[in-house]
Amino acid sequence: MFDTIKEVIDRILSKRLVPILVIYLILFVLLIDRLLSLQIIDVDTYEKEAMEMTKKTREIKAVRGNIYDCNGKLLAYNQLSYNVVLQDYGSLSDMSSDEKNKVIFMLISILEKNGDELDVDFYIEFNKKGKLKFNIEGNELLRFKAEVFGLAGGVNDLTEEQTNMTAEDIFDYLREEPNAATTSFGIGPEFSDEDALKIMAVRYAIFINRYKEFESIIIAKNVSDLTVAAVKEYSDTIPGVDITEDTKRMYNKSKYFAHILGYTGTITSEKLKEAGEDSDYSQDDQIGLSGIEEKYEDYLKGKKGKDELVVEAMSSRVVSVSSVEMPEAGDNVYLTIDSKLQIECYKLLEEHLAGILISKITNGNDAGTRGKSASDIKIPIYDVYNALFENNVINCDRFTEKNSSKLEKKVYKKFKEKRKKVIKKLKKDLSYESKVIPKDIGETREDYIDFFYDFLADNNILLLSEIDVDDETYNNYYHEKLSLSKFIQYAINMNWLDLSCLNLGEAYYSNEEIYEKLLDYSFKQFKKDKSFSKLIYSDMIYSYELSGTDCCLLLYDQGDIKLNENKYRLLKAKVLSPYTFLIDEIKKLEITPGQLGLDPCSGSIVVTDVDTGDVKAMVTYPSYDNNKLANKVDSKYYNNYLLETKSSPLLNRPTQEKLAPGSTFKMISAVTGLEEGVITPTETIYDKTTFTKIHPSPKDWTIYSHGNINVSQAIRDSCNYFFYEVGYRLGGVNSEGDVMNNRGLEKLKKYAKMFGLTAKSGVEIMEADPQFSVTDIVRSCIGQATHAYTPIQLSRYVTTVANNGTCYNLTLISKIDNYKGKTILDNKAEVRNKVDISNSTWNAIHNGMYMVVNSDNSSIRDYFSSVKEKVAGKTGTAQQTEFHANHAYFVSYAPYASPDVSVTCVIPNGHTSANAANLASDVYKYYFGKKKVSGKVTAKGSNVATD
C-alpha cells in the first residue's frame, strides 16, 4: 500500500497538481500507515485513543451578594453585562496562523469601533516613549518567558539567552512565522506594532489555554450593545467568538459611599497566589479589592457551581454535560450607615468648604499672612486660576486635539512660544559652565532649575541613596553655595547617577560630553512631561501672559461647567470679571473645593451612636466614583482625576488621615490630672499666657489671660497655660530641675488607652495606627508634640466620653443575611473596655464641654442656637506651617442630658475650629430635625479666634 501511494505522490509532485499543504497532509497519512504496518503503534490502541472520552469540570460563577444601608437601601448590586469570549476549536482551530490573526484583528476592530477594548492579560506593553517593556518582574517574568517558549520544565528549562531576552526580543520572537521548533504566532508586517501587540495578547491567551480548550477565554468584558450586535452580525467571519452573559458590580450614589464600600476588580496574580491552590478562585474572577467589598469577600462572593463535561480526549471538544451543580449566591451585607444621613453630611461638608474658600479668595495677589503666620492666610485669585490647570479642571492635553476650540489653539500657541523661551533660558542656567545658584535668580527661574533636579531624582537617574550626605561638595550644593550644574557634574564623577538612559555603550566620553548628553535627554523628556507643561502654564498665569478671563472661557470650551451663553458673552466682553465669575461658580458648586485642591479642600465627618458603637455616617471629602474603578479601571479617570488632583480623593480621611488632635485632646489631659491627683475639680490656676517653667517657653493661643480658672473652665476656654501646668505636674522635675517627660507621658498614655486612643477604632476597613506622643509632656497635654490620630479614633474617644466610659470597638456592620434572607451574622460592636474614673471627674469633663458650646461668652454659641437639643463639645486647632492654614476640629455629643449621638468634624487647613463647629451644628440640625439643611453655599469662613 505504501509503495502504491508513494507512486501516486511522485506523480502528483511531478505535475505540481496540488498545494504543498495537501502534500504535507498526505505525508502524515503515509507516516501513520507505515507505523501501523510496522506495528510501532497498535491499530486498536490508536482507534481507542482517538475515540476516548474524558471528564472535565467547568466552573459556574456565583452571583455576588448585595450591600445595603441600615434601613435596607441598596448601595451595591449586580447588573447584567455581556462579555466577548473566544474558544479555539472547530473552524478556528483548523485555521492557519495567518487566518487566525486576521480573525482576531477583525474582532479587535469591532471592539474598538464601538468604544470597547481588549481585556486579556499580557505582560508586554509600550511605555510613554513608545518602547516595549515588561509590566512584571522577578519570578513572574521568568514564568512568563518559560510559558512563551512552551517549556515543560518551566523556569528551570530556560536557557541563558532566553532568560536575558528583552521585551522587544520576546515581541519579535512571538511575531515570527511559526514552525515545529517555535511557539510564535506569525503576525505579519501588514500589522503595525501596536496592532501586532494586541493580536499577540489574544494569541498568547489562546496558547496558555491550550490544555483547556473546552473553556472559553474572555476577550473583552462589559461590552456595549453595539459590540454585542456586531459580533452576532459577523459571527460567520469571526468563528469561535461568542457573547456570554455576566454581571458587573454597580454602586448607587457612589461618591457618598465609595470609601466605605470599596470596589471589585479582577483578581491579581498576587492575590491568586495568596489564596492558595485549594481556593476556588480562577484568574478572571472579580473580587473585593478595598473597603467592605474586600473585608467581607468570603461572605459576598458566594459559592461557585460546576458542570461535569464529557470531552473528547484528543480534540477537547465537549460531547455532553453529565451533571450540573448550581452556584449559590453570595450573602447580603447590611451596614450601620444611614444613607440619608451620610449623603446629607457629605453635601454639608462640601458646602462649608466652598463657603470657607469664598471667604478667603481675594481679587488680586493678597495672600494675607502666608509665609509669616497661619493666622490669616488668604487665597489670591491667581492661585485659583493656577489650580484649574494644576488639578486638570482645565486639561491642557485637549489643546492639541483636532476638535479643540479657537481659544484652546490660541492658548497652546502661546504656550509653545513660552516653552521655547523657558528652555532656552534653562539651558543657559544649567550649562556646563553655569554657576547660577537658584536663590540668587528669582522664584520662577528657581522653580525650573528645581524641576530638573526633581526630574533626575524621580526617574532614578540621580540615585539619592548613593549620595554621601557628608560629602563637602554635596553640602555646598545643599546649602546653596554651589550651582546645580556643578553638583550634577560632580555626581557624574562620583557615580551617583544611573546613565543607562543615555545609551552610552562602550565608548569613552568626557564629563562635559556626558553632562551635555544628559541635558539633551532631559530637555527632550521635558517636552513630553505634563508636570513641566503645568509649570509653564503656571508661569504664564503669574506673569499675566494667560488671563483670568481666558481661564474662565476655557472652562466653558472644555465643558467643565454648564454653558451659560449670557455669562460667556459677558466674560468675553470683559464686562464680567473672572473673580466674580469664579466665586459664583464655586457658590453653585459647578467648581468644587475638591477640584481646586486649595486649602481647605478636604474634610471628615463621623457620626456615631454612643449607646451601641454603631457608625451612622463616616464621610470623607472629596470622594470618587467607584463605578469607574470596579470591574475594570477607567484609566483616563484614574490618571486625570484620582492621581493628578492635590485633594487626594482616594484617601479615606476618617480612617487614614492622621493629624495632631490639638485641643480636642484636653479632656484626656484633664482626666489624667484629676485621677492622678495633680489637680482637683475646684482648684484654680492663673493663666500667665506664657509658661516660663520650661524653655523654650510655650504660649497660650491668645495674648489675653483667662485669669484664675478651674479645669472645667480651662476646657471651656481651651486654656493652653492651664494644661501646660497639668503636664508639668504629671512629669515632675528631677534633681537638675528638668521635666521628667517619660514619667508624665506614661501617666497620660494610661488614660488615653482607656479612651481608645492607643489602638485602632475597630471599624472593619483599612485604618492607620494611632500615634501617641513620645516626647514633651507639657506640649503633649494640649494635643501637640507628636500626637497623631484619625477622625474615627477621635470619634471613639468622644463617644466614650459621651456615654460615661463604655469604649467600643466601633463597627460598620449591622448584620449579614444569606441569599434566602436568613440572618447568619447579627453583629454588635464589642465593648473594648470600661473607663473607671470618679463621678467628680466625669462631671468636670461634661461641664467643661457643655460650656464650650453654651456659655455666655462662647464664640460658637450662635451656631447651635437653632439646634433642637443641647450640644456639648470641644474645639481644636493644630498648626501645620506658616504657609498653610491651621487644621480645624470639633468633637461633640448630644443631647447633653442623655447623649444619643456623637459628631466629629475635621477640616484640614480649615483656618479655625469655629468652622468645624459651624459644620457640626448643621449636622445636628439635620439629625434632630430630619429636614434637609444642605443646598446653599455662603461665605462661612469664620475669623473668630478659637482653639
Q: In angstroms, how far apart are the furthest CA atoms of the chain?
A: 122
Phi then psi for residue 628, to 5 deg, are -85, -5
Q: What are 606's three cell numbers?
A: 463621623
Q: What are 447's three cell numbers?
A: 522653580
Handedness of CA 531, 533, 539, 540 (dihedral sign): negative
Vertex 414: Cα angle to 409 and 418 (nearest 5): 145
Q: What are 817's three cell numbers?
A: 443575611
| Whether the bond into 696 is cis, omega within 30 of 0 | yes
Q: What are 379's three cell numbers?
A: 487665597
Phi then psi for residue 462, to 5 deg, are -85, 115
**Rounded CA gap, 840 and 727, in Å?**
20
What's the whole-model pTM score? Answer: 0.87
Percentage of residues in the chain having pLDDT higher than 70: 92
Sheet holding 53-60, edge to edge: 53-60, 305-312, 318-325
Question: Closest by alpha carbon to 560, among 591, 536, 601?
Answer: 591
**Rounded CA gap, 391 and 592, in Å?**
12
Q: Give the pairing of strands 264-266 and 615-621.
A: unpaired
**Rounded CA gap, 121 and 126, in Å?**
14
Phi then psi for residue 528, to 5 deg, are -100, -5
- With b meaning 16 or more CB within 10 Å and e meaning fewer, what string describes 249-268? bbbbebbbbbbbbbbbbbbe
pLDDT for the residue 702: 93
> What percentage of the chain's residues is helix, strand, coil (to nearest 5)?
45, 15, 40
pLDDT for the residue 2: 43
Phi then psi for residue 770, to 5 deg, are -70, 160
- As a whole number of Å, the CA-based R_g of the chain is 35
DSSP H or E stretch at residue 333: strand 332-335
Tell me if residue 788 falls in helix, strand or coil.
Answer: strand
**Rounded CA gap, 715 and 722, in Å?**
9
**Rounded CA gap, 65 and 82, in Å?**
19
Give the other-Cβ count within 10 Å of 63's Cβ. 15
Phi then psi for residue 510, to 5 deg, are -75, 165
pLDDT for the residue 635: 86
Tell me if residue 479 falls in helix, strand or coil.
Answer: coil
Question: Closest by alpha carbon to 752, among 792, 721, 723, 787?
Answer: 787
**Rounded CA gap, 849 and 870, in Å?**
11
**Rounded CA gap, 266 and 287, in Å?**
6
Phi then psi for residue 218, to 5 deg, are -80, 120
- With b meaning 16 or more CB within 10 Å and e meaning fewer, what string describes 409-422? eebeebbeebbeeb
Tell me if residue 652 falls in helix, strand or coil.
Answer: coil
Q: Give the pairing of strands 264-266 and 286-288.
A: antiparallel
Vertex 899: Cα angle to 894 and 902 (nearest 5): 55
Q: What are 372's three cell numbers?
A: 509669616
pLDDT for the residue 46: 47
Give the other-Cβ count within 10 Å of 817's Cβ. 19
Between the two ends of the chain, the Cα-to-Cα distance in Å is 104
**Beta pairing partners, 286:** 266
Phi then psi for residue 326, to 5 deg, are -70, 145
Distance, CA of 170 to chain centre = 33
**Rounded CA gap, 2 and 182, in Å?**
31
Q: Give the pairing of strands 67-68 and 53-60.
A: unpaired
Give the other-Cβ count within 10 Å of 614's Cβ. 24
Q: What are 246's three cell numbers?
A: 455576566
Q: What are 361's three cell numbers?
A: 479668595
Q: Which residues does the chain have with pLDDT short of 70?
A: 1-51, 89-90, 180-181, 213-214, 312-323, 941-946
> Using one digit for the tens of pLDDT, what is the confidence trace for 47-87?
555 557 777 777 888 999 999 999 999 999 999 999 999 98
Residues composing the chain? 947
Cβ–Cβ < 8 Å for 798, 904: yes
Q: What are 704's three cell numbers?
A: 489675653
> Using one digit for the tens of pLDDT, what is the confidence trace for 229-252?
999 999 888 998 999 988 999 999
